Amino acid sequence: MRSDAAAQNALVAAARDGDVAAFERLFHAHHVRIYNLMVFMVGDRTDAEDLTQATFVRAWERLGRLRSAEAFTVWLHQLARNIARDHLRSRRTEQQRTSDNWEQGGAIEKADLSADGQPEAAVAKHETSQTIHAAVRSLPEHQREAILLHHFQDLPVEAVAEIMGVRPGTVLSRLARGREALRRKLGPLVEPGA
């Protein structure tokens, strides 16, 4: 949407000039997606919350280095990806945790479950989401990242390629391999007539 893009560009320009209120609106527009990227990259929801916050603090510090407001979304995802990778590198040097913190807080908030007033349908949807999340988590890193950025973050292939530092053809290939793997893992959920 062009008007959405123009509005975001205006917010980025204002935030770059030190407007915290504008930056807060950018935060609320993007933090859930950045949080999901973190969760699926680091596999720990508490760490993902901390890393999401760290991403926005770093974005605030470095916003002055961003020339083009149009590049904000891709730039923010690149920052988040780098922070997640740094975290994973430092964590590998520590003692490996015996279990991750994936289920803490539940995959979907309770408020979401009752939002449409149909608890059974909501529970079924919740279970489906958990199944999909688990399947995505089990993918190899490159496929998981491509799937996350393209399907969960709604980013076009070209933007995913820019974030991952690869050619669009490579992204398509990773998406295809990931799609095959997920189709096998999700089995009955994606059979025709399911």
Partner 1 sequence: MRCDEARDNLAESAVGGLDEPTRSALQAHLEACADCRKEHGALLATGRLLDTTELLRPSRDLWPDVAAALRGRKRVRAPWWQLEWIPHPRWAIAGATAAAAAAAIALALFLPHPAHAPQIATATDEDAALFARWNAGAALEGGFADADAFAVLLQETAAAHEEAGNS
Binding flag, residue 192, partner 1 (CB under 8 A): yes
Q: Which is nearer to partner 1, 61 or 94 (CB)?
A: 61
Q: Which of 103, 109, 127, 141 binds partner 1 (CB under 8 A)?
A: 109
Backbone angles phi, psi at 192, to 5 degrees: -55, 135
Residue environment code for 154-188, b if the CB has 16+ CB neighbours within 10 A, otherwise e: ebebebbbbbbeeeeebbeebbebbeebbeebbee
Task: Choose one: 5-13, 85-93, 145-153; the region binding partner 1 (CB under 8 A).
Answer: 145-153
- The span from the CA of 179 to the CA of 143, in Å, is 9
Binding flag, residue 132, partner 1 (CB under 8 A): yes
- The span from the CA of 116 to the CA of 7, in Å, is 30
Q: How far is the CB of 93 from partner 1 (least distance, A)?
A: 25
- The span from the CA of 17 to the CA of 63, in Å, is 9
Site residues (CB under 8 A) for partner 1?
18, 20, 23-24, 27-28, 31-33, 35-36, 39, 45, 48-49, 52-53, 56-57, 60-68, 71, 75, 104-105, 107-109, 112, 125, 128-129, 132-133, 136, 147, 151-152, 157, 162, 169, 172-173, 175-177, 179-180, 182-183, 186, 189-192, 194
